[in-house]
Amino acid sequence: MGRVWIADQIALERRVAIKVLTEEIIQSAHCLELFHREARATARVDHPHVVRVLDFDVMEDGVPFLVLELLVGETLEEQVLRCGPLAPDEALELMRQTCDALGFAHECGILHRDIKAANLFLQQRHQGMDVKLLDFGIALRKNAGRPVAIAGTPKYMSPEQLSGAILDERCDLFSLAIAMHYALTGQFPFPGDTAAEVAFAHGAIPPSITKLRPGLPPALDAWFERALAMDPADRFADAREMLDTFEEALTARDVAVAVSTPPPARSRASGWAKAGALAAVLAVFLFARFGHTSRAAHASPLPSPIVTHPQAPPPPAAAAPIVTAAVTATAFAPPPVLDPEPRPAPPAPIVVHRPPPRPKARAASADAHDVVIPGTEGFGNRW
């Protein structure tokens, strides 16, 4: 319908964009009315994510022009063609800003009717993506009744828009879902170059988005199924509900990834060291608790990596009976669980198996039964 020029606004020393209609369009009274409608609708929707209208006037030769803020960046369509589909977090940010702008337009009583990737302009700011909604040239007032003419871009048009039925905000939400499908996959769910081809494609079930891009969360399949429903009553009621449900679908993806991600691998040496330390502590505790009542009095001690020390002189003959027990511990396996025997209540006699008497003169080498666990002296661990 027109051309867009970069211009210098001399009085304010800034650059702006000027949209001018082509000579062919100027000859059509209907197109001139659409241009005036675009100026009024864009000025009415004063929103941070809608391109701002700075002025509207007619030149000396009768050609109308629209002065807009100058945007630096590219459209969503251009970015997908250049870089491929968006990442899920980028798509979510795009949805947030677009739904915010589109919901505000609906609150102002305006239907855009031409939501598409070419009308979503992406600027790169220091805080990230900045979306601007463009082109209110075929905007329509809500509750305006049946439109006079069918207008829009066929690949993005809803079934009711293609049939010329009475429209509400759900036709814009349908078109936004098409734009999001294109942003995430680079493809259209209902392909076709003409309105008739797209209308025929609406009768078929489109492939699920996770088949087109397996890395996307499965919850998005249900989201697109509802957003692209043929009956407007089956779609989202407004832009806010559409955005919240989209965000929940991506949250479900994050939770699934968090659950399926294995815990970080631990060092083998660190794991064995911790297991050995735990085994030693358990051995000390079990012997202190059950050493005097163990039934393993005559068990043969197994080789142990624990450092042994020379045995102290044996206790005098009048000392209390010594109950022998074997305690084994290894730094690479948990200690054997001792089977404690309940201590009989007095005055029942206690059966004690005494070891054979040992000679008083002892060799300098350590006895196999003389085991001392380092760091536990004083806990009765020498026998």
The answer to whether residues 20 and 65 touch, using CB atoms and an 8 Å cutoff, is: yes
The answer to whether residues 325 and 296 touch, using CB atoms and an 8 Å cutoff, is: yes
The answer to whether residues 149 and 187 touch, using CB atoms and an 8 Å cutoff, is: no
Look at the block and give the residue holding tokens 């879902």.
177
How far, in Å, CA of 108 to CA of 380, rounded? 86
User: Which one of 100, 114, 135, 172 is the catalytic residue?
Assistant: 114
114 is catalytic: yes
DSSP 155: G
Which residues carry out catalysis? 114
